[in-house]
């Protein structure tokens, strides 16, 4: 194989968007050593390709190029021809001899001078720059220029006809493709084309084809190059494991490989048309899919009709729908063993999945209106913005509770609404009625938005007044019932000990403090998708207060005495809530709020005991002395219980 074919065949081909079977092997811009090649090629080009009315490229024949392999040696100096390029002239015998000498000087092996480059191209379709190799270029309209024309184009410089036509073809390809803005006038070093020669060739090509939109072609070239580089970088990233390929790309790539191997190229299918076998197969598949859909629809309709026939309308059944187990939607088979006589029957249907009912339009409207945070997007707020306003509300509530504790005066019996009812029962009854009322109002759709804003504390977007409202809202009967029962068990004792004013102060302050503690806990942990509601913080504050006031007292529920001291019960619930809050257990219980309520209730009761000790006649008892006295009472009670157990 010649050096020309070896150099061209080993070149990296450019990615094509249409068929080009032989164009990557045939460059078409130089001749071989044969002295007959130029004349034969020139006559065929002028007869088949050149049209006086149009400069478009048609289906042509061309020769192979030797310029990519090696630049020919400099020939003898020629007479410079001034002026612009002249039209094609008839070659003289001297020109043909010079051409043969230049080709011999290149020292290349002979190569075919005529080769068809139209194989695989549909009839009537014109060649474009995509059908040519960028290293060989695209032939100019009118064919290759003669040596005289080359001398005129390059102002008589020492440029042989092969190199000159090569320069013109490459520049013409760059203009048509838009690569001129990227590559410019650069040529391979082994070709030895100077910048002045390239500029002269570009001026000639522009003069021959002035209507080419170089800016538009350059823009398209830049977009295609950007896409090509992006695909290369993505493929490299996938190869080294930095990027995970898209599932759709993998499926499409696998499909393309199989189709290319089985059916040929896409251009071939477009040229030959759709396969009758493929069209028939696709039609059969579509018909089968339609048949399957019709079968499934018929089966579903038959099942619905069978259910409707057995159940019937509500009027026929006296308002009671019949059981659907006898609908026989699924065939049942009863088996009887002829030898043993054992009968095996299928189990009866135990359930029926009805059609889900769609929510009424007004419910959807109120649900949408009650949604505070749209699209689950947490508002961008600082920690101070989330906690600061609520802290001010907390301080105001605590100040009001202190004022209530110091200045509340019980009304006389004659001024009470229910004078025969004990004050403790009346107070707890009023609180229970308030909790039940908010529970019922929370079921009304027009109030959903109000409850979500002012009776639910959410760390994502907290409303300051929700610290108070959250202490009076319950969403389930179980939640409401458990809090009310605990309130009545411990609240009666606390009310009898401290009175109505102090009881209400401890109840409300414990609830607000526990809610704020839960808010701080969730904000610092960045747990935005949670919400806090319920009176459990207040109830636990009341429980902690009475257990602190009477640590050695017993717990009675409906007259039944539980054999556990109050301080034991308080220690048990305190340790449980603290451990759950520290470990952040994933439950639906607000452990942080419970801890806050317990701490405030216990601290309030301890402060009341200290205040009472200071006001006693003996007075001046310190906190340490109080703790020692409580410890001594607990120890004495334990000893007494131990003695009673020994005597028993």
What are 481-519's pLDDT values in tens digits? Answer: 999 999 998 999 899 989 999 999 999 999 999 999 999
At residue 398, the pLDDT reads: 94
Q: State residue 258's pLDDT score.
A: 59
Confidence of residue 621 (pLDDT cuts 50, 70, 90): low
For the chain, report the end-to-end CA distance as a whole number of angstroms. Answer: 119
pLDDT attached to residue 254: 64
Distance (Å, whole) CA 335 – CA 329:
19
Instruction: Please tell me the predicted confidence (pLDDT) of residue 578.
Output: 92
Q: Averaging pLDDT over each range in 9-18, 125-134, 501-510, 617-626, which range is the top one? A: 501-510
**Chain length of the chain:** 648
Query: Cα–Cα distance between 639 and 145 in angstroms, integer?
Result: 124
The arithmetic mean of pLDDT across residues 27-55, rounded, is 36
Structural Rg of the chain based on CA atoms: 49
Residue with tokens 């410079």: 80
Average pLDDT over residues 334-357: 64
Q: Quick check: 581 and 591 in contact, CB under 8 A?
A: yes
The closest of 68, 79, 85, 95 to 188, measured between CA atoms, is 68
- Predicted confidence band at 388 (pLDDT cuts at 50, 70, 90)? very high
Q: Ranked by mean pLDDT, which of 249-253, 304-308, 454-458 comes out on top?
A: 454-458
What separation in angstroms does the CA of 13 have from each of 24, 243, 274, 491? 7, 27, 29, 90
Spatial neighbors of 341 by CB under 8 A, at least 6 apart, are none
pLDDT at residue 457 in the model: 92
Question: Please, how many CA atoms are within 13 Å of residue 321, restricted to the half-sphere of its CB?
Answer: 13
d(CA 114, CA 454): 91
Evaluate whether 536 touches 483 at the Cβ level (below 8 Å). Answer: yes
Closest CA to 46 of 60, 34, 36: 60
Q: Which of 217-221, 273-277, 564-568 has the lowest mean pLDDT?
A: 273-277
573-611 tens-digit pLDDT: 999 999 998 888 888 889 999 999 999 999 999 898 888
The region of weakest confidence among 74-88, 330-344, 474-488, 598-612 is 74-88
State the pLDDT confidence band at 260, using cuts at 50, 70 and 90.
low
CA neighbor of 168 nearest in space, from 109, 152, 115, 222: 152
Residue 529 pLDDT: 84
CA distance 235 to 580: 50
pLDDT at position 628 is 74
Q: Specify the higher pLDDT residue, 472 or 634.
A: 472
According to the model, what pLDDT value does residue 253 have?
65
Q: Would the pLDDT of 84 be above 60?
A: no
Beta bridge partners of 51: 54
pLDDT for 507 equals 95
Determine which of 297-306, 334-343, 388-397 has the lowest per-residue pLDDT on average.
334-343
- Sequence-separated (6 or more) residues with CB below 8 Å from residue 474: 435, 438, 439, 442, 480, 483, 533, 534, 535
Question: Mean of the per-residue pLDDT values for the chain?
Answer: 73
**How far apart, in whole angstroms, are the C-alpha atoms of residue 596 and residue 537?**
7
pLDDT at 19: 36
Residue 86 pLDDT > 90: no
Q: What is the mean pLDDT of residues 397-409?
A: 93
Q: Which pair of tokens denotes residue 57?
A: 């490229």
Mean pLDDT of 188-197: 81
- Tell me how far apart the 2 most distant CA atoms of the chain are, in Å: 146
Q: Is the pLDDT of residue 528 over 90?
A: no
Q: Which of 216-225, 254-263, 320-329 has the lowest mean pLDDT?
A: 320-329
Q: Which residue has the higher pLDDT, 17 or 141?
A: 141
Other C-beta atoms lying within 10 Å of the C-beta of residue 277? 8
Position 123 pLDDT exceeds 50? yes
Q: What is the pLDDT of residue 200?
A: 84
pLDDT band at residue 375 under the 50/70/90 scheme: confident
Q: Does residue 65 register a pLDDT over 50?
A: no
Above pLDDT 90, what percent of the chain? 23
Q: How confident is the model at residue 5 (pLDDT cuts 50, 70, 90)?
A: very low
What b/e sequence results for 40-49 when a residue is b if at least 16 CB atoms lie within 10 Å of its CB, and e otherwise?
ebbebbeeeb
Query: Of 530, 540, 507, whose CA–CA distance to 460 is shortest?
Result: 530
Is the pLDDT assigned to residue 83 strictly greater than 80?
Answer: no
pLDDT band at 397 (very low <50, low <70, confident <90, very high): very high
CA nearest neighbour of 91 among 34, 41, 55: 41
pLDDT at 161: 82
């Amino acid at each position: 194989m010649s050096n020309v074919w070896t150099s061209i065949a080993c070149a990296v081909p450019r990615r094509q968007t249409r068929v080009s079977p032989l164009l990557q092997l045939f460059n078409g811009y130089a001749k071989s050593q044969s002295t007959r090649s130029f004349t034969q090629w020139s006559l065929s080009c002028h007869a088949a390709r050149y049209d006086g009315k149009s400069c478009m490229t048609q289906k042509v024949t061309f020769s192979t190029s030797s310029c990519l392999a090696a630049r020919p040696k400099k020939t003898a100096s020629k007479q410079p021809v001034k002026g612009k390029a002249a039209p094609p002239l008839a070659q003289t015998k001297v020109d043909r001899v010079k051409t043969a000498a230049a080709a011999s000087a290149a020292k290349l092996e002979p190569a075919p001078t005529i080769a068809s480059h139209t194989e695989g191209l549909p009839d009537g379709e014109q060649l474009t720059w995509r059908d040519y190799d960028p290293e060989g270029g695209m032939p100019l309209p009118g064919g290759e220029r003669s040596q005289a024309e080359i001398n005129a184009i390059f102002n008589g410089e020492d440029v042989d006809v092969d190199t000159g036509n090569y320069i013109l073809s490459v520049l013409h390809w760059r203009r048509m493709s838009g690569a001129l803005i990227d590559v410019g006038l650069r040529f391979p070093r082994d070709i030895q084309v100077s910048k002045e020669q390239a500029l002269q060739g570009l001026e000639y090509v522009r003069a021959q084809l002035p209507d080419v939109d170089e800016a538009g072609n350059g823009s398209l070239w830049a977009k295609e190059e950007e896409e090509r580089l992006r695909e290369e970088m993505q493929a490299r990233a996938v190869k080294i494991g930095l990027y995970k390929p898209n599932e759709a790309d993998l499926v499409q790539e696998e499909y393309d490989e199989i189709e290319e191997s089985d059916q040929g190229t896409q251009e071939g299918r477009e040229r030959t048309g759709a396969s009758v076998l493929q069209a028939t197969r696709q039609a059969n598949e579509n018909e089968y899919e339609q048949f399957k859909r019709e079968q499934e629809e018929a089966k579903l309709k038959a099942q619905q009709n069978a259910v409707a026939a057995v159940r019937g309308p509500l009027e026929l059944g006296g308002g009671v729908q019949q059981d659907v187990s006898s609908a026989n939607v699924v065939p049942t088979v009863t088996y009887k063993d002829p030898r043993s006589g054992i009968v095996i029957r299928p189990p009866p249907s135990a359930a029926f999945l009805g059609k889900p009912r769609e929510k009424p339009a007004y419910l959807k409207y109120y649900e949408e209106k009650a949604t505070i945070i749209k699209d689950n997007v947490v508002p961008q707020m600082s920690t101070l913005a989330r906690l600061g306003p609520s802290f001010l509300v907390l301080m105001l509530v605590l100040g009001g509770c202190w004022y209530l504790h110091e200045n509340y005066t019980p009304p006389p019996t004659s001024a009470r609404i229910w004078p025969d009812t004990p004050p403790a029962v009346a107070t707890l009854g009023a609180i229970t009625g308030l909790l039940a009322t908010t529970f019922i109002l929370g079921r009304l759709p027009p109030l959903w938005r109000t409850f979500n804003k002012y009776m639910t504390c959410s760390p994502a977007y907290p409303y300051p007044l929700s610290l108070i409202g959250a202490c009076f809202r319950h969403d389930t009967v179980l939640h409401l019932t458990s809090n009310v029962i605990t309130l009545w068990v411990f609240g009666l004792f606390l009310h009898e000990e401290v009175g109505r004013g102090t009881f209400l102060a401890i109840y409300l302050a414990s609830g607000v403090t526990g809610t704020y503690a839960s808010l701080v806990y969730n904000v610092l942990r960045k747990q935005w998708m949670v919400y806090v509601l319920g009176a459990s913080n207040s109830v636990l504050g009341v429980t902690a207060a009475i257990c602190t006031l009477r640590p050695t007292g017993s717990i009675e529920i409906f007259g039944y005495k539980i054999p556990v001291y109050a301080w034991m019960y308080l220690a048990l619930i305190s340790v449980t809530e603290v451990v759950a809050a520290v470990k952040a257990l994933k439950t639906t219980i607000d452990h942080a709020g419970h801890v806050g309520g317990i701490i405030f209730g216990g601290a309030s009761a301890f402060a009341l005991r200290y205040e009472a000790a200071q006001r006693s006649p003996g007075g001046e008892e310190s906190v340490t002395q109080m703790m020692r006295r409580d410890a001594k009472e607990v120890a004495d009670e334990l000893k007494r219980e131990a003695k009673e157990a020994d005597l028993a």
